[in-house]
Chain A
Amino acid sequence: MSTKTPQYAAARLTQALASDPRTAELGVRVQLRGEHVYLVGEVASEERRRHLTEVVHELAPELTVHNEVGVVECREPSTAEELD
């Protein structure tokens, strides 16, 4: 994938993360800086997090992928909000 125009390249990667069945993620941001791509957001499992890197790397092997996506927390809540 040509990354000469970073705006288009970032948009194509965002679309790929949404449409590729391995990821189907609309909630991950793609930021392109030179030859580096940064992925930001949260997903439901470690496997899905890995798939993000896979999909971006397949489409743009010339870029270095920085996967900063976290796996969303599932702990029991410790407090409640009072709505008077």
Chain B
Amino acid sequence: MIRIAAVGDVHLGEDARGRLRPALEHLRDHADLLLLAGDLTKHGTLAEARVVAEEFADLPVPVVAVLGNHDHHADVPEEIAGLLTEHGIRVLEGDSTVVQLDGAAVGVAGVKGFGGGFAGKCGSAFGEPEMKAFVRHTEEVAGRLRDALDRIDAPARIALTHYSPVTDTLRGEPLEIYPFLGSYLLAEAIDEGGADLAVHGHAHFGTEHGTTPGGVRVRNVAQPVIRCAYKVYNLHGHDGSEAQPA
């Protein structure tokens, strides 16, 4: 069993310094790995990123993150990723990492993702350059997610995004804004890449549980949805200690 803790949309800043840390003190009792599903800051500034870095530094389990749209707002996402990396947080954008655990290994592939909408109700790369750029950006990041999942050499694979791959976990959000909350192209990449679990944030009014069309479990861990410091998912059947189906 692999114990995965996850949270997104913590939106930390100076006014929320230390807000999560007390609940992280016993993290090792609950989980082997912590995933951060983007929107770690409020305005995407380096000052806020320092608060994030200190909040999640020196934890007893590996921490793997993607950035979200808020983390891009001040146009310094690479500097934010660098700062978090200096504090021991692995930041993914179109790449993957394999975490070695006691008797198990789990690979995490991550991208921020982007919008565009869902099958049959989505934008097309047609018309104005702005529209084509919007849709092609999502196509590009979904492609990078699929490639990153493909490259994982571990028995368990997790897809970590900020934007949602499915509409299931958007229930509660207005239908009209679904195209800004995610894209089915992310789900297609998750299914083709053979993920065992997909974790995302972004949809504060959404719901926690969903599945991709290919049957991969999806969890929306935006903090206003999960209403706690992090959620824990125990992923069974990937560490060799449990019987695999024939």
Contact = CB atoms under 8 A, between A and B. Distances in A.
B229 A80 contact: no
Nearest to B208: A81
A73 interface: yes
Contacts of B15: 44-45, 47-48
Contacts of A41: 204-205, 224
Nearest to B177: A26
B133 interface: no
A83 B227 contact: no
Interface residues of B, number: 36
Contacts of B13: 44
Interface residues of A, number: 24
Nearest to A46: B15
A48 B228 CA distance: 18
B160 interface: no
Given A24-B42, A27-B204, A80-B3, A75 B23 contact: yes
B144 interface: no
A80 B23 CA distance: 15
Given A21-B43, A83-B217, A72 B237 contact: no
Nearest to B5: A77
A82 interface: yes
Contact of A81 (B70, B229, B230, B232): B232
B151 interface: no
A58 interface: no
Interface in A34-77: 41-45, 47-48, 72-77
Given A41-B205, A44-B19, A45-B15, A80 B224 contact: no
Given A24-B73, A81-B232, 13 more contacts: A24-B70, A29-B205, A44-B16, A44-B42, A72-B224, A73-B228, A74-B19, A74-B23, A77-B228, A81-B233, A81-B234, A82-B234, A84-B237
